[in-house]
Structure 1
Amino acid sequence: MLRRLDLTTLPGDQELRALLPRPAVDVERALPAAQELIADVRERGADALVAQAERFDGVRPADLRVPSEAVERALAELDPAVRTALETAIARVRVGSAAQVPPPSSVELAPGAVVELRWQPVDRVGLYVPGGKAVYPSSVVMNVVAAQAAGVGSIAVASPAQAEHGGLPHPTILAACALLGVDEVYAMGGAGAIGAFAHGVPGIGLEPVDVVTGPGNVFVAAAKRAVAGRVRVDAEAGPTEILVIADESADPELIAADLVSQAEHDELAAAVLVTDSTDLADRVDASVARRAAATAAAERVATSLAGEQSAIVLVADLEAAARVSDAYAPEHLEIQTRDDDGVLARIRHAGAIFLGAHAPVSLGDYAAGSNHVLPTGGQARRVAGLGAATFLRPQQVVRYDRAALEAVRADVVALAGAEGLPAHGEAIDARFEEAR
């Protein structure tokens, strides 16, 4: 079912990256449409958002800002088992996120010369939760808890209007907001929602935010790129991806289950196995075919697994497997080998890493305590997944007394002169002039 890619002889890094399976997603092509939708929201505000909901979601929201009673009602009507599961996820992600907040620090460079580092949260954030093929209350948890752990004081959530729910976001999304104490929720989606966060919509009381985060489709990714000069954004999320490094000791049934689990997200989802065992590859492929046919989203899964973005990659050994993984820089990396930690030691680029047979990606999606909003499309080479740090800014606080300043006086004056900025040096010298 999965195509085979023979990389038992590895090319150079640049050629290797070009050979690896990727979905055909072009954010650049979506950018003009996203910019047009954002400009419409900037110019027409609420009217543009309503028109976009009618166009893309097939419903005219009665209220772009979700009434508080609708949020409360969604929680009251939530399936108790789902509520318990959400509460478990919230508690675990809250502990994991709190551990990401760096403590303040200071360094004394010389007597009386101290530089302190403190971490300050941004004032306000806009968190996006997609609609589409599935319902993602877990994305509410991941976005909101990380922002709360950072100490953000003002949080707004947006999710597309749903025709089957009277123009409101899905009730499970609203219930998750209620559990987290978020009462500023908007029925808006896509690029328009990202533009609304960035520019504000006075007609519905939506103030501009400082940071926009959350997954979405290619138009959401393009919208983030369009507003990145105005607000901070997290990574441009593309289709989800899983890469599994495994040797002959791994259980093919578990690997197949994990590949299928990611493929059910989207037809463009990527499922990749990298192994040095042809026998394992054959057994995984047979199990994938069986499981894919039996799962609820069989048609979607089949499209994903048959696509150019999914493959079984054969390599010479686990060192080569680690090199392939680093070239790919997966959103989710699973390692299932005889020596998981040995392979882990060779890995540098991945959004999140899951070690061993009992740490599947689906655990990270919900209750591992890690965050599931992660970089895709190779962005893990340069950006991190969502966490408390996404909403924090480091600030340096400089404390010098007179003696400490005098110790570097000549150096500052000399460098100021070398740069043609004599007044900089004079500002130092002024502090040592005799009182008049």
Structure 2
Amino acid sequence: MLTIYNNPPKAEWPNLLQRPTMDTAALEANVTGILESVKANGDLALRNFALKFDKVTVDELAVSQQEIIEAEKLVSDDLKAAIKQAAENIEKFHGQQLVQEEVVETMPGVQCWRKSVGIEKVGLYIPGGTAPLFSTILMLAIPAAIAGCKEVLLCSPPNAEGKLHPAILYTASLVGVSKIFKTGGAQAIAAMAYGTESIPQVYKIFGPGNQYVTCAKQLVQKDGVAIDMPAGPSEVAVLADETADPIFVAADLLSQAEHGADSQVLLVTTSETVASSVSAEVELQLEQLPRKDFAAQSLAKSKVIVVGDLKEAVELLNQYAAEHLIINCENADAIAEQVVNAGSVFIGNYSPESVGDYASGTNHTLPTNGYAKAYSGVSVDSFVKKITFQKLTKAGLENIGQAVQLMAAAEGLEAHANAVSKRLDMRVENLM
């Protein structure tokens, strides 16, 4: 099932570490057509796409309060308690990300500082379909609330009955989502980016999705709508040495493989024995999974790479820049310190990636497809703008004025120099 590569030369690493992709040109053409249709036809286009892609007629795009009340009754008390526990941990972790900005006096009479202001209107995309990811609502709506966003709306694809999963509605209501809409895919991104009769336009769009959703987010960004990151199909990399338990490693690989056919898992190990043992264990556990067909398709595109030592393994994984990286090794803490490219790191035998997906407190909306080399996962900072302020006294302007005027004159921007000289009656030519 898993293809094993023994000590591949570094020249082959780029090819081995490639993610599964679609034809980009064809993908962009398809998504562009969807975006243009929604931009031109609004709600009508959303209903048509629901019929085409979701095979369902959606009369009312907005979820009613009555639907939310009914959904809450369908969620078990145990699941409600689990969601609340996860919400508490996520709020506790993200709440610590609010930092009180200090006023800095850069020179006498010149004060500078920053202020964090919540983005007023944000849109959350929550995947539905075969796996309704209600946990993603916690990961996005909670930091949005902490940041002080005034309007938080949510889009998610409806099921065959034209409804959203009860847990999605319960969770959204629990964390204070303002408005909920039954629309998914690239068309939902278009609706939030451009606005329709029912769905308000937002300033920034958050949330993971398949390659169509990711492509749509990247395209609407060209029209001035901000996005969190290009978060595409989920992925995990596991680093395992001879001390790793093959049962644990196999379970971790399958936990991501079951997301969908376009997900990818990668095992990097220093032991050929571990490679073969994990591969065999994956096949055993796969047969017990309800979503084994999805996982099998993902595994067909996934790899096991055996390397000479841990130094080489870390180098390879930093090049891969995994969304999730699990370190199942002796001295895992020390190895984790060497990681410079990853969305989120899980250290030791008892830190499965699934705890981060749900309830440890960290955010599970993370950069995929190698974007962890430059992007961070979602945090409270993702939902705020940092506005800088400065305040000068007359003495402060006198202290800094000469430097400003000389620099402005050197750039040939006389009006910039005048903004200082008119206040201080100090001409730049008298300073040179």
One-letter amino acid of the counterpart of residue 60, structure 2 = D
Verify the 8 A CA contact 2:108 2:399 in the aligned structure 1. no
Residue 2 of structure 1 is matched in structure 2 by: 2
Out of 277, 292, 295, which is 2:289 matched to? Answer: 295
Q: RMSD over aligned Cα, in angstroms? A: 1.5
Structure 2: runs of 5 or more not aligned = 427-432
CA shift for structure 1 position 26: 4.5
One-letter amino acid of the counterpart of residue 313, structure 1 = I
Question: 1:417 aligned to 2:409?
Answer: yes
Out of 162, 178, 203, which is 1:210 matched to? Answer: 203
TM-score using structure 1 length:
0.94
CA distance in 2, matches of 1:24, 1:42: 27
1:49-95: per-residue Cα shift (whole Å, max 9, x none)? 11111111111112101111111221133111111111111111111
Residue 255 of structure 1 is matched in structure 2 by: 249
CA shift for structure 1 position 27: 4.6
Q: Any idea what SS the aligned residue of 2:10 has? A: coil
CA shift for structure 1 position 145: 1.0
Q: Any idea what SS the aligned residue of 2:287 has? A: helix
CA shift for structure 1 position 198: 0.9
Q: Any idea what SS the aligned residue of 1:105 has? A: coil
Residue 16 of structure 1 is matched in structure 2 by: 13
Equivalent pairs counted in the alignment come to 425
Residue 139 of structure 2 is matched in structure 1 by: 142
1:87-126: per-residue Cα shift (whole Å, max 9, x none)? 1111111111112233212322112211111111110101
Residue 316 of structure 1 is matched in structure 2 by: 308
Residue 32 of structure 2 is matched in structure 1 by: 35
Q: Any idea what SS the aligned residue of 1:220 has? A: helix
CA distance in 2, matches of 1:306, 1:48: 36
One-letter amino acid of the counterpart of residue 109, structure 1 = T
Residue 128 of structure 1 is matched in structure 2 by: 125
Verify the 8 A CA contact 1:257 1:291 in the aligned structure 2. yes
Question: 1:280 aligned to 2:277?
Answer: no
Verify the 8 A CA contact 1:375 1:383 in the aligned structure 2. yes
Residue 428 of structure 1 is matched in structure 2 by: 420
Out of 169, 184, 206, which is 1:174 matched to? Answer: 169
Verify the 8 A CA contact 2:192 2:201 in the aligned structure 1. yes
Q: Any idea what SS the aligned residue of 2:325 has? A: strand
Verify the 8 A CA contact 1:194 1:224 in the aligned structure 2. yes
CA shift for structure 1 position 271: 1.3
Question: 1:306 aligned to 2:303?
Answer: no
One-letter amino acid of the counterpart of residue 168, structure 2 = I
- Pairs within 5 Å for 1:358-373: 358-373=350-365
Q: Any idea what SS the aligned residue of 1:359 has? A: coil
TM-score using structure 2 length:
0.95
One-letter amino acid of the counterpart of residue 68, structure 1 = Q
CA distance in 2, matches of 1:303, 1:194: 27
Q: Any idea what SS the aligned residue of 1:62 has? A: coil
- Cα distance change of structure 1 residues 225 and 21 upon mapping to structure 2, 3 Å threshold: closer
Question: 1:269 aligned to 2:263?
Answer: yes
Verify the 8 A CA contact 1:336 1:357 in the aligned structure 2. yes
Residue 230 of structure 2 is matched in structure 1 by: 236
One-letter amino acid of the counterpart of residue 121, structure 2 = R
Residue 331 of structure 2 is matched in structure 1 by: 339
CA distance in 2, matches of 1:213, 1:392: 13
Residue 429 of structure 2 is matched in structure 1 by: none
One-letter amino acid of the counterpart of residue 244, structure 2 = A
Verify the 8 A CA contact 1:123 1:210 in the aligned structure 2. yes
Out of 173, 184, 187, which is 1:189 matched to? Answer: 184
Of 24-33 and 214-223, the range deviating more from structure 2: 24-33
Residue 399 of structure 1 is matched in structure 2 by: 391
- Cα distance change of structure 1 residues 25 and 96 upon mapping to structure 2, 3 Å threshold: farther
Percent pairwise identity: 35
Verify the 8 A CA contact 1:86 1:176 in the aligned structure 2. yes
